[in-house]
Structure 1
């Protein structure tokens, strides 16, 4: 597994990339926070609680307005793992799935411990963020898959019957590896998904979602990014349900005014591929980011996941300035997300200046240890 040679980043390109990274992380988190409070309600119950138009604004869920779920927690640790992988590349011990798995194991500690262990300097700074030490309905597949030190792989996946969406919903960061070839982005997302979700539809949905984000982060249209995902999926065994779900999403765009009923039809039984298709549909038909996110969460299904998936797409497509400012101001953990996003953008654009044998920044290595 490898990446394309380092590109020369001009100031404008760096600023655009940072905006898309911020947009992806913040958009996924806002969508998660918007959808989490209604994730167990039917569409009828949502309308009874919030009016005929359904949920229109952030409401209390796991805690105050703007509180996120485990989906956002894991997405942040995906980013942490990718940065650590790049830092470790200089040592010759470069295997991104292993570094991402170690990051997910640090997330597991946040679900078990009362707070960070300051003595474990090798954990880096993200694992010392106290607000992350909260259980927010973590999926059983994630707890089981990451509950021991054995890493799931394509040859020996964890939870081989698990078709849930959680692996896809934490996979947007893989798409932000804009210097990588698309097929390598798919491969990395797939390998990391098998650490918790071993059914082909689940891990291929994660790969498809990641490479769609990848296209958007590189400036492609959403339709073009989906077409690329379909082409890359075609050679992979078991891809048919994922490809069919994506084609249904594209077809639904041409069926008239978007409705919650159409979203529920796409969502089907709530497996990974159908919920990714909901996100693609909502991102395509939304009049703006706010409308797309509202459409994504007002249905009787996994609203946190569809909100997060849709927000990730819209953030990658438009950048952080397209996200609703009023929602961002109430978003739990927003300062952490901004720092992590900027660190990711810094590592991907200026990594050689931070940790090569010729240029070593001790502060950076303290934040992202090679251990």
Structure 2
């Protein structure tokens, strides 16, 4: 691991925080209108559509399964890095275990204190709530086949390309010291844990690479072109490539509008959610306007808002996010705590769990690695 300067550490921390908070804000902005048509959104909320949080799940600023799964993705990545000390290195296994812990939040009333693997995130009671989880995510992580690790050769739900792959993929892009091809591959291998259609898992890989480019200080446009180059090397990339190119074409077509968003699809499937999120991030005059564009359409508003928020957050950092939206966001403390733990692990892992680590017991309790 290269040495990080203080400025690099501060910049990386801000981008990680921004990615998580921005995604959650976009998710929460779309949560209350997820299943509404653009016509109804405008009829209820005015010609501009929603301009801030609207009630969802009994409160303002509520997040959905999108943010829940992003949290568990980051938790799994931290544990995968810790597991390197044991001589066992297979991140998809740790991500599979993390998603199984998420699945428990969708069926249990609260954390089972008898479980030694939960860590601090699995004991967050507010996460034990169903927020319209995707069926492929649920079916891939429950039932008699739940414990089986989906692989590219034998994926779970081989015909599913729902957006449940791409809406949880941004954290893979925060692995900034990895080669982009490896980041793409890891996102793919962790997508087939629940979704096996090539368009689903390739869309996840594409988003991860775009996020990584921004996290390294590049532009979103550079990230999109790198993603297209990596996609071109993969079988069955055509749907994902076409969707990304459509997003770029829409940027050049004129002034941003909800109608241009709707021409890219509704976002229920992975490539459409990716295209909408990327388009809205590329044309955003500022973070708020980009997020509102990403949610005010007929379709999966929370997922497209989350993807756009991931991109704008990692591009600009947490301090650029609209303060009123940050303040009203459900789970903000947990999001920030997990983001900071991820940064600690990537920058100071050996000091936290190496043979001479003073805080090893505390870190092991937060992120237990069993077996």
* Same fold, TM-score > 0.5, yes or no: yes
| Cα offset, 1:362, TM superposition | 1.3
- Cross-structure match for 1:356: 354
Q: What does residue 169 of structure 1 align with?
A: 167
Aligned residues between the structures: 366
Does 1:298 pair with 2:299?
Answer: no
Alignment of 1:1-371 (within 5 A): 6-147=1-142, 148-267=146-265, 270-359=268-357, 361-371=360-370
Q: Whole-Å Cα distance in 2 between the matches of residues 98 and 16 of structure 1?
A: 30
Shift of 1:356: 1.5
**In structure 2, C-alpha distance between the alignment counterparts of 1:71 and 1:206, rounded to whole Å:** 13
- State the 1:192 CA deviation: 0.5
- Kindly indicate whether the alpha-carbon contact (under 8 Å) linking 2:267 and 2:303 is maintained by their aligned counterparts in 1: no
Q: Distance in 2 between matches of 1:102 and 1:158?
A: 15
Pick which of 289-298 and 265-274 moved more.
265-274
CA distance in 2, matches of 1:63, 1:73: 17
SS at match of 2:298: coil
**CA apart distance, 1:268:** 5.3
How far is 1:267 from its partner? 1.9
For 1:34 and 1:170, locate their aligned partners in 2 and report how far apart those are by CA, in whole Å: 17
Other structure's SS at 1:198 match: coil
Deviation (angstroms), 1:121 = 2.8
Which 4+ residue blocks in structure 1 deviate beyond 4 angstroms? none
- The whole-number CA distance in structure 2 between the counterparts of 1:76 and 1:268 is 25
Cα offset, 1:119, TM superposition: 2.5
Please, what TM-score do these two structures have when normalized by structure 2? 0.97
CA, structure 1 residues 217+34, in 2 after alignment: closer, same or farther (shift >3 Å)?
same
CA-based RMSD of the aligned residues comes to 1.0
Find the aligned partners of 2:49 and 2:266 in 1 and give their Cα distance: 20
- Runs of 5+ consecutive residues of structure 1 not aligned to the other structure: 1-5
Q: Is the 8 A contact 2:266 2:297 kept in 1?
A: no
Distance in structure 1 (CA, Å) of the matches to 2:295 and 2:82:
37
Equivalents in 2 of 1:268, 1:137: separation in Å?
A: 17
TM-score (ref. length: structure 1): 0.97
Q: 1:50 to 1:268 in 2, by over 3 A?
A: closer
Q: Which runs of 5+ in 2 are unaligned?
A: none
- Partner residue in 2 for 1:3: none
Deviation per CA, 1:172-226, whole angstroms, max 9, x where unpaired?
1000001110000000000100111110000000000011101110110010011
Distance in 1 of aligned mates of 2:273 and 2:103 = 25
Tell me how far apart the structure 2 counterparts of residues 268 and 140 of structure 1 sit (CA, whole Å): 17
- The 1-side partners of 2:326 and 2:254 are apart by 31
Deviation at 1:122, TM superposition (A): 2.3
Distance in 2, matches of 1:143 and 1:164, equals 12
